[in-house]
Amino acid sequence: MKLNRPSILFRWLLALVCCSVAVALAIRTSQGVKTIPAQNSVALVNAASYDRTVAPGSIAAAFGANLTNQPLEVATSLPLPTTLAGVTVKINGVAAPLFFASAAQVNLQVPNGVNPGAANIEVFNSGSTTPVATGTVTVAEAAPGVFTLDQSGRNQTIAQNADFSPNADFDRVPGSRPEVTGSFVTIYATGAGRTSPLVPDGQPSPSSPLAVPDGATTVTVGGVPAQVLFSGLTPGFVGLWQISFVLPASLPTNLATPLRVELKGRQSSETTLAVVNRNEFGSVTGLVVNAVTGAPLTGANLALQPTGGGRARATTTDGQGHYNFLVIAPGGYTLSATAAGFIAATQGATVAGGQQFIAPPLALTPPLTDGQYRVVLVWKSELDLDAHLTGPIANARYHVWWNGENDLATPVTAQFDRDDKTGAGPETVTFTAQATGAYRFSVQNYTDRDRDSAARLAQSGAVVRVYRGNQQITSLTAPSGGGTLWKVFEIVNGQLQVVNQLSDEPDPSRIKIAF
């Protein structure tokens, strides 16, 4: 699998636990240590779990008093230094790389050369040969500790979902959500012990070859064994262990599902993950484009609001204009899209458990001038649907469509902006309506034009949005039934009237006669 690198948000979260060139370790308080060390003594614990057993190469926290009389100092480059704020820490005589040092706490990497068993800790200050604090710690081949959001080592795990969003209850941290069963998550831990290849003390882990533990990693979620996809040190970080695994399909929905990691016979303390069962929730996905050009809109804002009230979900489009709402409870929703310089658009969405709702493209239009209309057609299926507008001109009627792109007037008052030839739209027509006369808009199923009463137009998810000036004035969906021509609406003497009827017309050039 492709290695899951921490996202920008996770770099902020991981600032709680480790340091690299761009990420400094945030100070942990001594709240997590169950016994405050006596004067001139130091206690060393796993930096993730606060357990009093550590492993070679892992991230650990040393707590004491008066460890330095200098201000706190944080490592700002790699490899990590062995002295910060005048403090040096030795474990069994080997100087430990330091993330940061303060009077009450020093975070460090346990040197790889420290062997399992009881180890002596010595803290030196300002080059003195006499330690200012001493202590002992148990070193094991592995000592799994999982990092948590509240820094307790016991609750919600710091984890990424398959789409790189944070795993947690909805919006507990910005953009967080539970992950569905059958998908994979990546958690962050320490205590993997010596790896292959062995990474030199204080150095960032390599990306090639990846540094992996010398034993098999086991993960259980909700008491069920999970398939481990990757277990190894995170490239670019010191001592940080990441584990990617698949959430078992049988897990029930539980926003605090128990999680344990085991390596070389040692188990982590229990932490939790936010998990939902795939069959109980659905998703909404789609595309936001420019209605006039068809180009995808990057960074458009999407909101999904339950029709019965409740908290809206929000997201933005990616570089290709796509968006995804994952883990959505079944029910009806209003989907809206906004972007700078465009009129907002809305449409309905119905979500079913275990299903993906693929929305028709949300085609946003720039504002229009007063008295100007724009009609935008989109749909979900791969049918070739065509937009048709007819209107009055002199003593006849014009027909604007893919084979007649304007009304031939001077100046032009009706223009076929975009003909979609790939399926799903948008097809867009812009026109100015006179105070009198009838303007009629229809949609033809060109693919099935010779099949009377064909039902695929009605089943296509076709949506027509009508804009005037700087607002959307109506949105219409294809009615049920059979027919290859959807007579959508007409504007008569300046008043929009919904028609919304299906009939048949095989010849697109005759639509101005049929409607």
The answer on pLDDT for 36 being more than 60 is no
Alpha-carbon span 492 to 26, nearest angstrom: 67
For domain 145-277, say whether CATH 2.60.40 is its number.
Answer: yes
- Contact indicator for 396, 476 with CB cutoff of 8 Å: no
Q: What is the mean pLDDT of residues 459-481?
A: 94
Sign of the CA dihedral running 310, 311, 312, 313: negative
**Structure tokens of 74?**
């944080």
Give pLDDT, residue 3: 59
449-459 pLDDT tens trace: 999 999 999 99
Query: Which 8-state DSSP code applies to residue 239?
Result: S
- 402-445 pLDDT per residue, tens: 999 899 888 999 999 999 977 888 999 999 998 889 999 999 99
3-state DSSP percent of the chain in helix, strand and coil, to 5: 5, 45, 50
Instruction: Quote the radius of gyration of the chain (alpha carbons, Å).
Output: 32
- Strand-pairing partners, residue 38, are none
Half-sphere exposure of 163 (CA within 13 A, CB side): 14
- Say which residue the tokens 């990691």 belong to: 261
| Poorest-pLDDT segment among 144-153, 166-175, 425-434 | 166-175
User: Distance between CA atoms of 382 and 360, rounded to whole angstroms?
Assistant: 11
Report the sign of the C-alpha dihedral through residues 194, 195, 197, 200, in that order: negative
Average pLDDT of the segment spanning 139-146: 98
Among 17-26, 109-118, 392-401, which stretch is predicted with the lowest mean pLDDT? 17-26
Q: For the domain bounded by 8-139, which CATH number is listed?
A: 2.60.40.10
What is this structure's pTM?
0.80
Q: At 1, is the pLDDT very low, low, confident or very high (cuts 50, 70, 90)? A: low
In the block, tokens 């290849």 appear at: 197
Q: Which token pair is 432?
A: 């100015």
Please say whether the beta carbons of 456 and 478 come within 8 A. Answer: no
**Joined tokens for residue 165:** 């969003």
CATH 2.60.40.10 fits 281-358, yes or no: yes
Residues 6+ apart with CB under 8 A from 128: none
Q: What percent of the chain has pLDDT over 70?
A: 92
pLDDT for the residue numbered 21: 29
Measure the CA–CA gap between 513 and 515, rounded to whole angstroms. 5
3-class DSSP state for residue 443?
A: strand
pLDDT exceeds cutoff 70 at 273: yes
Looking at residue 469, what DSSP letter applies?
T
Domain parsing of the chain, residue ranges: 8-139, 145-277, 281-358, 367-514
| CATH code, residues 367-514 | 2.60.60.30
| 281-358 has the same fold as 8-139 | yes
Question: To the nearest whole number, what is the mean pLDDT of the chain?
Answer: 91
| Percent of the chain clearing pLDDT 90 (strictly above) | 84
Cβ(281)–Cβ(330) under 8 Å?
Answer: yes
Model confidence pLDDT, tens digit, residues 213-240: 999 999 999 999 999 999 999 999 999 9
Predicted confidence band at 39 (pLDDT cuts at 50, 70, 90)? Answer: low
The Cβ of residue 255 has, within 10 Å, a number of other Cβ atoms equal to 15
